[in-house]
Structure formats: structure tokens, C-alpha cells
Amino acid sequence: MVDAKQLPMARGLGKTDRIDQWWKSPIAMASFLGFMIAYATWRGFMEADFWFFAEFGRSAGQQTMYIESNGSHVLSPLFSPIILPGKGILGGFVPEYLYWMSPAMFILIIPAGFRGTCYYYRKAYYRSFFASPAACTVSTPYDKYNGETKLFLFQNLHRYFMYLAVAYLFILSWDVLLSIQYHSGEISSFGISVGTLVLALNVILLGGYTLGCHSFRHMVGGIRNKFRGGGGAAAEACWKACTGLNKHHNKWALYSLFWVMFADFYIYMCTIGVWTDIVLLGGI
């Protein structure tokens, strides 16, 4: 047997023998993820009632979480399901010492945990933020890779966040259904606005990302040695569908993240009066 030999490699942060512009991809990814994280953090705190954040959102007298116009209701995915501390069924469970929290703070732990432990996102932010490694055959500032240990054992929770993310799809789908129900007094009717389409596309993109997840694919078919037997045909069909989505998992991951933020931004702009949620069909 031939002994394995490690090729000589320049050592140090960013050191490499590559002559192409390898650094463009990690910088672009770091910029994209950094902006999305900053935006979600800003919006999450906007509806909080503490420090200078009380100057914004519902604490200042004008909430920016959902559109209420012409009898419609279009809720931002960053605040769904809406949990107003001290109000309603869900908010009633919130202890008084947490009343300062934004509704988004109760929700974002699910999508953040799911994406943060996602196999694709691990690769993306390990390379972009930690340079571990920044690119193939590019040296890292760390010693030899020893696996995901210590703090990174948190990544093992991915499958559990996946279960919650699948359930979350039903909640967001319900929001789409609510957005097509128009009410004015005792009058109820069907309608579709631009906001409805924004929410519907959000569910489609999140569905493609979530149902193409490696863990979900393993759950529906990867644990079987063969598909023959009870429920085999159905399991195989589901596994093939997940495999088709999984082949483009990176695209679903990035496009869905962008659209979640855009959906929230659209609703934010409508609530402050910059944009108007135009009714395309029906309505009141």
C-alpha cells in the first residue's frame, strides 16, 4: 500500500498557492449573510419595548408587524405567529418580566436554529466568517480540524429544529389563508393582494428549502435499506422528491432567506405608508 503524503502548503491566514480570485466567494457570502443577520436583528428589536427601541414600532403607537387595510390582514413572517406579551392566548403565557420583548424574539429562535445548524449554512459561515477554510487549498488560522466539538456540539440539534421548521410551514401557510379573507363589519369576502403573493412565494421558497433538508430527506427515506414493503412506494416517492429539492439545496437556502427578509421589508414599508398593499382581485 502506498503511504499517504501531505502536499506542501503555505501556512497562515489566507495563504495559498492559488492564483485565481478565490476570495470573492467567501466575501460575497459574508456580506450577504451579514446583511441578512443585521436586518433581522434590527427588525426583531424594533418592536421591543426597552432602551431606545421603545421609540419605534408598537411601543411608539404604530406597529410595523402586519398590514391591516381594506379589511385584509398580512402578517410578516418574522413575527408569525404573533405573540404580544400579556395579550391574547399565546401572549398570556409570557411572564410579566418579559413584557419588554419583541414578538419576533419568541419566534426567530426556530428559523435561526434551523438555518444555523443546516449542513449548507455551516459550510457557508464556516468559510465566510471563520475562514475554516475560506476556500479549497487555502490555509486557515487554526490548527488541524478536529470536528465539531465543544460549543459546536450544538449542531447536533439540527434534526430537532427541522421538526419545528416543518411545523412552521403550516403556520406560515395559515397566514396566507388569512391574507385572502377580507372582513368589514359583517361583510366577508375573498381577495388577493400583492402582500398575499409575497407571503405565498415565501411559503413556496421555505418549503423548497425545508423539505429538501438533508435531515428531512433521511427521515422520509434515507433510513430504509429498500423501499419494497409496507408504504415503500409512498416513501420512495417522497424520498425522490426530497432528493430533487436537495440537489439545489444551496439555492433554496439563499433565495428563501432573502425572500423572508423582503416579505418583512414589504410589510414594514406598507405599515409606515411608503408603499401600498394593492388589492389585485376581489377584496372589499
Number of CB atoms found within 10 A of residue 28's CB = 11
Cβ atoms of residues 272 and 62 within 8 Å:
yes
pTM: 0.91
Per-residue pLDDT of the chain (284 residues; tens, 9 = 90+): 566 656 555 666 677 878 888 889 999 999 999 999 999 999 999 999 999 899 988 888 899 999 998 888 999 999 999 999 998 888 999 999 999 999 999 999 999 999 999 999 999 999 999 888 888 888 887 776 666 777 778 899 999 999 999 999 999 999 999 999 998 888 889 999 999 999 999 999 999 999 999 999 988 877 666 666 666 777 788 889 999 999 999 999 999 999 999 999 999 999 999 999 999 999 88
Could you tell me the residue ranges of all domains in the chain? 24-282
User: Exposed e or buried b for every residue in 141-169, given b needs 16+ CB within 10 A?
Assistant: eeeeeeeeeeeeeeeeebeebbeebbebe
Distance between alpha carbon 159 and the CA centroid of its chain, in Å?
15
Strands (E), 56-133: 66-67, 74-75
d(C-alpha 190, C-alpha 211), whole Å: 29
